[in-house]
Each structure stands twice: as C-alpha cells, then as structure tokens.
Amino acid sequence: MIVIAHRGSSQLAPENTLPAIKQALHDGVDAIEIDVQLTQDNKVIVIHDEWLNRTTTGSGFVFLTPYARIRRLDAGSWFHPRFKGTHVPLLEEVLEEVKHTKVTLHIELKNNFIDYPGLEKQVIKLVKQYNMEERVILSSFRQDSLETCLYLAPSIKRGLLWWGSLTPLINNSLWQKLQLYSIHPSILFLTSEVRTLRKKGVLIFPYVVERKSQLMLCRRLKVDGVFTNSPRQIRKLLGQNFG
C-alpha cells in the first residue's frame, strides 16, 4: 500500500513547507501531497487555506496578496517555535526538492472555493520545466479543472478528489471522461463500493488516514494507497501484522 504524506509529513513539521517535504523524504514515503494556489501576482505557491491567517503570521486572502509580501511571513512558528523563519514555498521550490528523488508528487489544485484562472496551465508548465511529468498526479475536487488538465497535458496523471458517498461515482463514467488515474475519497465515506471502482481500473487513495482502525478498513478494502499526516506511524503499522 502506497503511503502519501499529506501536506508533507504534517504531523512532525508545518504543513506544505519545505521542512514538511524534507521530513516526508526522511520518513521514506512513496509520495507527497501538496496544495497549490495563485498569489495576486500569479505565482504558484504551496498552501492549503485560501487565506493566510491559520498557517502564517499574515492575514487576508492569498489571491489578494503579492508573493513578495507572503514570502516575508513566517509559516513555521504557529506549528512550533523551532520552525520560526520557515517561509511559504513556491511550487518550484518543492519541485526542486523532490526532482532528484523517487517520490511521486500529488499536486492538489486548491480551486474548489476560489477560481484561479490559469492555475492548471501554470502548474503544468512548471511540472514540464522540471521534467516531472511521469512522477506527478494532478488532483482537484473540481471536475472541470481536471478536464482542463486532460486537455493541456493528457500524459500527466489525474486524480479526482471526492467528498461524500461513492455511489454517484459508480453509476457514471466520470472516471472514463476524465481518464482518471485515481480517485481520492474521504476516509469517512469509504465503503466496499471502492471494489467496483477498482475493477474499472482506477486506483483508490483515501484521505486522511490517521487511526489504526481506518488503516484496517483500507487494508480490508484493498485500497491502493493512503494519504496520512503521520507516514512514519502508518509505515510502522503496515510493517506489522496488525488486525
């Protein structure tokens, strides 16, 4: 089962920062997930929330703030004083960090609340610039965004994020229309319906798996991988003959 560090190893380091990426690499993960958004001046940055308040010393919306101002903010001290001085990274910095490794990078286009016209194009351009086409999975909750990705770069894998019951997915051909590599359902809604989806040839990566009971369910349903904030613990559990 593939272990994907959710927002980096975000239990041990501030989410979506270079220390969290480095921690994930140190933890020996197979893949790392990050969230990306656009700043006011159209830079692709790595951050989960649409506003700066929770994970930085700043405030306000990402899309209304130029990167030069975001760069000066502290994105580490909210997590722990020893991460003081950590900055909000550009996507390029993460690509630079992982390009000489073997990990797969899940780039979540965080465009479900705020529309970022051109985000897909910019992300794809950077992925190509770093020759990472084969080791990237582009994901989004938005089907139209994945459709844009399919149009712009059919060879880069696409994963659909899904919140809620899996039933609607069984009865349509979305996976076919978007030529999906994977579906990423919330662990809260995981049922045996994933078996039907897997039979269609789509990989299943539930998010976010933290508890042993959740991992047991994933193993029972034979999912292909899990997003977790705690890759070290999950790898340890997987190494044991639990449940």
Q: Rule CB under 6 A: which residues touch ligand G3P?
A: 6, 33, 35, 48, 108, 139, 161, 184, 207, 227
Burial of 204 (0-12, 13-18, 19+ CB in 10 A): buried
Q: Which is nearer to Mg ion, 43 or 110 (CB)?
A: 110
> Which residue's Cβ has the minimum distance to ligand G3P?
207
Q: Which is nearer to Mg ion, 122 or 196 (CB)?
A: 122
d(CA 207, CA 162): 10
d(CA 53, CA 37): 15
Question: Which amino acid is residue 48, in one-letter code?
Answer: H
Name which of 115, 100, 108 is nearest 5 in CA terms. 108
Residue 216 and residue 206 in contact, taking contact as beta carbons nearer than 8 Å: no
Q: Which is nearer to ligand G3P, 161 or 218 (CB)?
A: 161
Interface residue with Mg ion, options 103, 108, 109, 208 (CB under 5 A): 108
Quick one: which segment of 75-83, 106-114, 163-171, 217-225 binds Mg ion (CB under 5 A)?
106-114
Largest CA distance in the chain: 50
Residue 77 and residue 4 in contact, taking contact as beta carbons nearer than 8 Å: no
Site for Mg ion in 3-32 (CB under 5 A): none
Among ligand G3P, Mg ion, none, the one that 27 touches (CB under a kind-dependent 5 to 8 A) is: none
Among Mg ion, ligand G3P, none, the one that 67 touches (CB under a kind-dependent 5 to 8 A) is: none
User: Tokens 């997003």 identify what position?
Assistant: 227
Residue 6 known to be catalytic: yes
Binding residues for Mg ion, rule: CB under 5 A, are 35, 108
